[in-house]
Amino acid sequence: MTAASVIPEIVGPESPLDVQLRPMSAGLLERAEQRASQVLDEAERQAAGVLADARRRGEAILESAREEGAAAARRSGTRLLADARREARERILRAQRGVYEQVRSLAQDQLDRLAGAPAAKELNARLATFAHDRLGPEATVHDAKSGIGVIAAQGRRRLDLSGEVLVQRELAEMAPRIEDLWS
């Protein structure tokens, strides 16, 4: 049983926490989109520079290689361009991962700031009820260390509904929108 498969059942109609989180969530997404766009623009500029440099070097190698043989020149140029493309792709992937980590961190920080608030206590109570529904009335349920979410156990069965898992689930649901930023 995963948090992703059980959260929709407990979230139900919009709660005061949902209403409170909506502007934060929208703001986080907007900042993430802006930051992602900036990071990707920079990564693309760097990648274009790497590719331009590789093309220049490749052309120089091709020119000198023409004297040694066309076949050797093609192999060398192809290898150099492949290396440049690979390097450019690696830079873009690092930039994307950095943006994802920033979004995850911002979301977790926002959620952690709610710890101790009445809405957080209400959410924890709903999560505890859900955990008991899933694991049985004998299940032990404890608030997560962050104060947001719960951890439940019954025998060998364990259900992690901590804030960290809730953030991961939300990011997984947002993945298609985040993927759109990369294209």
- Among candidate residues 44, 23, 30, the one with its CA nearest the CA of residue 110: 23
Show pLDDT as tens, one digit a residue, over the chain (183 residues). Answer: 554 444 555 555 666 666 766 777 777 778 878 877 888 888 888 888 888 888 888 888 877 767 777 777 778 888 988 988 999 889 888 988 888 888 888 888 888 888 878 888 898 999 999 999 999 999 999 999 888 899 999 999 999 999 899 888 888 888 787 777 766
Q: How do the domains of the chain map onto residue ranges?
A: 3-182
Q: Strands of 34-177 (E only): list them.
A: 140-143, 149-154, 157-162
Cβ within 8 Å of residue 131, ≥6 positions away: 139, 141, 150, 152, 159, 161
Quote the pTM value.
0.54
Residue whose entry in the numeric block shows the structure tokens 């997404």: 29
The answer to whether residues 146 and 164 touch, using CB atoms and an 8 Å cutoff, is yes
